[in-house]
Amino acid sequence: MIVDDDDGVRNLLALHLEDRDWNTVRAESGVKALDLLQRMSVNLTFLDLRMPGLDGAATFKAIRAIDPSARVVIVTGNPEDEIMARAWKVGTFSLLTKPFTMHELDIVLQGMSPNPALATGPNLATSNLTPLACGDTSISWQAPAQSQTGSNLSIQLRSLNVLLAEDNPVNQLLVTKLLEGQGHIVSLATNGRQVCDMFEPGAFDVILMDVQMPIIDGLAATTIIREKEKSTTFHTPIIAMTAHAMVGDREMCLQSGMDAYIAKPIELDQLLGLIAELVPEVTEPAMLPETNVAATLPGTIEAVSLAESIEAEPEMHEFDCSAFLARIQGDMDLAQELVEQFSIDQVTMLSEIRSCIRHRDGPALERAGHALKGCLSNFSAQDSIDSAQKLEENGRDGNLDQSGQTLADLEHHVSRLTAELKSLTR
C-alpha cells in the first residue's frame, strides 16, 4: 500500500513497484489508509511522513494498533524532523529518503517476494530482512516490542462470556465492539440493579464493572455478587472501570471485593492482559469474526473511505487523533458509530450540567461532570476533559460560584471537538 497525499509520488512508487511484480493499493491520506486496512491485508506499506490531518507518525501508530507486525517504510525528505521523532517512539520501520534511487528502493524490498495477490491472514511479515541503508540511516526489520499504548494482539483468549456494567452509551459501544472484535460474547447492564439481577454464579467468565452507576453503584453491586457466591465454589473475576484518578480509589475497589482495577479510557491490550491474569484457562485462541478481504486485486486501485469527500483533512486541536484511532484499532466504522453516539449524548450531558449549576446541586454536578469526563476520555480530548474535571471538583467541593465560566469553557471545547470528530468520519 502506498500512502501519500502527493499524486506524483503515489504514481511513481506504484509504477516502479508494479515493474517489480508487486500489486499496489493507493491511499491519499492516513484516514483512507486505515479505512482500507479494515477491508484487506497488505504485505508492505510505504507511508509518507508529512501529510495534512493525520500525519505519517499518527498513521503509523494506528497501523501498528491494527497489526503490531505490520511492515512499514517511512518515506520522507527530512529524517530529522519532529514527526520522525514521534514515529521512532511507535516502533521499528524502514526508511526511504526523498529523492530516492531505484537501487535504494530495491534495498528496501530485499528479502521479500512480491505476491501477485494481496495476502491475507496473520503471516504477512515472517521473513527476516538484512539491515538496509537509505540516505544516512541504517535500520533493520524487527518484530515491534509491545508498548504501553499499542495493542498487544498476541494476547488471544478463548471466547468468553462477559458481563459489561456501564451506563454511558459511548463507553458501552466502545468496550462492546472491542471485545466482540476479539470473539467474546458481551451482555450489557446499564445500572447496578441490572447487574445483580443478571448475575448467576458461573454464568459469566468476567464482569467489567463501572464504579459510578445509577440505582446501585459498582461497589455495592460487587458486595451483592460476592454474597451470592458465598454458598458456591464460584468466584467470578470483577474488574473495576472508572475515570477516577484520586488516591485510594484502587484500594477502595479492591476492598469491596473487586479483583482488579482499570482506568478509563479503556485500552484493549491492558484489558486483555488483566482478563488473561484473572480468568483461568483463557489461552485458547478466540474465534475471531471473518474479515471480508479481497483475495485478488490485480493492478492498482484507489482507496475508497468514509472520508472520501475530505480533500484536505483539518488539523485536530481538540483531541489526540492518533491515540483515538489506536484505541479503536483503526476501525473507521466504529469511529463513526462513536462520533454519532457522542454527538447525541453530549447535548443531554451538557444540559444536565447546566441544570445542576442552576439548582446549585453540588453532588449532582459532581456526578454529571464525572460522567462526561469519562465519555470524553475515549477521544483523548484533554481540554474538554480538564473542564469537565473542574466541574466535577466544583460539585464535590460545593464551589458552584466558579462553575459558570468553567461550563462556558467546556461548551466551547465540546462544540469544537464535535465538529472535528465529524470531519474525521464524514
Mean pLDDT of 40-69: 85
pLDDT for the residue numbered 306: 35
pLDDT for the residue numbered 112: 63
Domains 2-145 and 321-425 share a fold: no
Q: What kind of fold does domain 321-425 have according to CATH? A: Four Helix Bundle (Hemerythrin (Met), subunit A) (1.20.120)
Per domain, the residue ranges of the chain are: 2-145, 161-278, 321-425
**Is residue 111 predicted with pLDDT exceeding 70?**
no
- pLDDT (tens digit per residue) in 193-242: 999 999 999 999 999 999 999 999 999 999 999 999 999 999 999 999 98
pLDDT for the residue numbered 424: 83
The pTM for the full model equals 0.66
Which of the four pLDDT bands, split at 50, 70 and 90, describes residue 109?
A: confident
pLDDT for the residue numbered 392: 95
Which of the four pLDDT bands, split at 50, 70 and 90, describes residue 299?
A: very low
- pLDDT (tens digit per residue) in 166-193: 999 999 999 999 999 889 999 999 999 9
pLDDT for the residue numbered 310: 34
CATH number of 161-278: 3.40.50.2300
- pLDDT (tens digit per residue) in 145-168: 333 333 444 456 789 999 999 999
Assigned architecture for domain 2-145? 3-Layer(aba) Sandwich (3.40)
Determine the Cα–Cα distance for residues 422 and 306; give it in Å rounded to an integer: 11
pLDDT for the residue numbered 282: 60
- pLDDT (tens digit per residue) in 304-351: 333 333 334 445 689 988 788 888 877 888 999 999 999 999 999 999
Which of the four pLDDT bands, split at 50, 70 and 90, describes residue 249?
A: confident
HEC secondary structure over the chain: CEECCCHHHHHHHHHHHHHCCCCEEEECCHHHHHHHHCCCCCCCEEEECCCCCCCHHHHHHHHHHHCCCCCEEEEECCCCCHHHHHHHHHCCCEEEECCCCHHHHHHHHCCCCCCCCCCCCCCCCCCCCCCEEECCEEECCCCCCCCCCCCCCCCCCCCCEEEEECCCHHHHHHHHHHHHHCCCEEEEECCHHHHHHHCCCCCCCEEEEECCCCCCCHHHHHHHHHHHHCCCCCCCCEEEEECCCCCCHHHHHHHCCCCEEEECCCCHHHHHHHHHHHCCCCCCCCCCCCCCCCCCCCCEEECCCCCCCCCCCCCCCCCCHHHHHHHCCCCHHHHHHHHHHHHHHHHHHHHHHHHHHHCCCHHHHHHHHHHHHHHHHCCCCHHHHHHHHHHHHHHHHCCHHHHHHHHHHHHHHHHHHHHHHHHHHC
